[in-house]
Amino acid sequence: MEQKLFTVPGPVLDERGRPVPGYSTRSVLRYDRSAIKASPFRIKEWDFYQVSDREKCLQFTLGHASYAGQVGIMFFDFIKGEWIANFDKLLAFPFGSLHMPQDAEADHTLTYDKGGIFMQYRVQGDTRVLCCKKGDFDAEITLTRENPESIVINIPFDQKPTQFYYNHKINCMRASGRVRAGGSEYVFDPAESFGLLDWGRGVWPFHNEWFWSNGTGLVEGEVFGFNLGCGFGNVSAATENTLFWRGAAHKLGKVSITHEADFMKRWRLADEAGRLELVMTPTWDRTTSTKVLFIDNCCHQVFGRFDGFAVLDDGTRVEVKELYAFAEHAVNNW
């Protein structure tokens, strides 16, 4: 498939509120919430950060689906299959009151401080500081971006011309910091800890089903990352499927992510051109189910060990061994 690469700045939406399909490896397009030609009830905006090493994972969520929002933390050991901390606050009808940033790479500070929960993202250059405090839970994580390239997609949905998904994912950020929870302290060592940003803006169909997998780790002493997905709209102009190696993004076409009825059996991830073949051996199924107002969502985010190979744009074959990451299957009505 031929994918459209954006290199010149332009708008996410045209004058009729329709998405301009394609992808880039940095923030090139301009997102303007006021340009959306859809009901305010359908707008979705989120900033999701994940920090993980080879055994534990910390997730920060701050976002909304217009009529419902969420501010929350998930912290768990995916090798032992144990929760360390898990709390969130659901927000009724937040609409644009969270003041979500319009660019994932521009300097900004996003803060929520109400009802006993303090969460803040501070972005300055290649450094991102994530903080959250609630009761005896206290986390401060610093993410340092070493990889100049990322994956940004702007894609339509077939149901309506003004529906779109504008998404920016940044892999391969070194993570350092500490978390205090339940009287214990946990450390993220930057030698083996990495951060991910999933930054999404868009107008989605009410019902959607997707597969997504993302991971970063050390392969042959080098930082290797991947982002793989399917089910996110019409990808004829661009997929989000990308490999990251030595600071550069290597683009893939369509990818399939398959699993059996038992989510704890092995998953297979492969592209259509024979450049990717990964098998995930699960260690834990972090299942979440949300039912509030009009929302009815279920997601199996399965963590485990990835083994296989990936082929870069120049034909170099990267052997992936014992890289710990996740793959998920989500069915959402939102």
| pLDDT tens figures, 118-164 | 999 999 999 999 999 999 999 999 999 999 999 999 999 999 999 99
Mean pLDDT of 170-175: 98
At residue 66, the pLDDT reads 86
SS3 content of the chain, % helix, strand, coil (to 5): 0, 65, 35
Q: If you search the block for the tokens 């190696």, which residue do you land on?
A: 245
Residue 5: band (very low, low, confident or very high) from pLDDT cuts 50, 70, 90: very high
Cα 2 to Cα 254: distance, rounded to the nearest angstrom:
11
For 66, list phi and psi in degrees, rounded to 5: 70, -60
Ordered by where they begin, the domains of the chain are 10-333 (2.40.370.10)
Cα 331 to Cα 334: distance, rounded to the nearest angstrom:
10
At residue 320, the pLDDT reads 98
At residue 65, the pLDDT reads 87
Across the chain, what does the average pLDDT equal? 95
pLDDT digits (tens, 9 = 90+) for 200-250: 999 999 888 999 999 999 999 999 999 999 988 999 999 999 999 999 999
At residue 232, the pLDDT reads 86
At residue 96, the pLDDT reads 86
Contacts of 304 (CB under 8 A, 6+ apart): 78, 267, 280, 281, 282, 283, 284, 324, 325, 326, 327
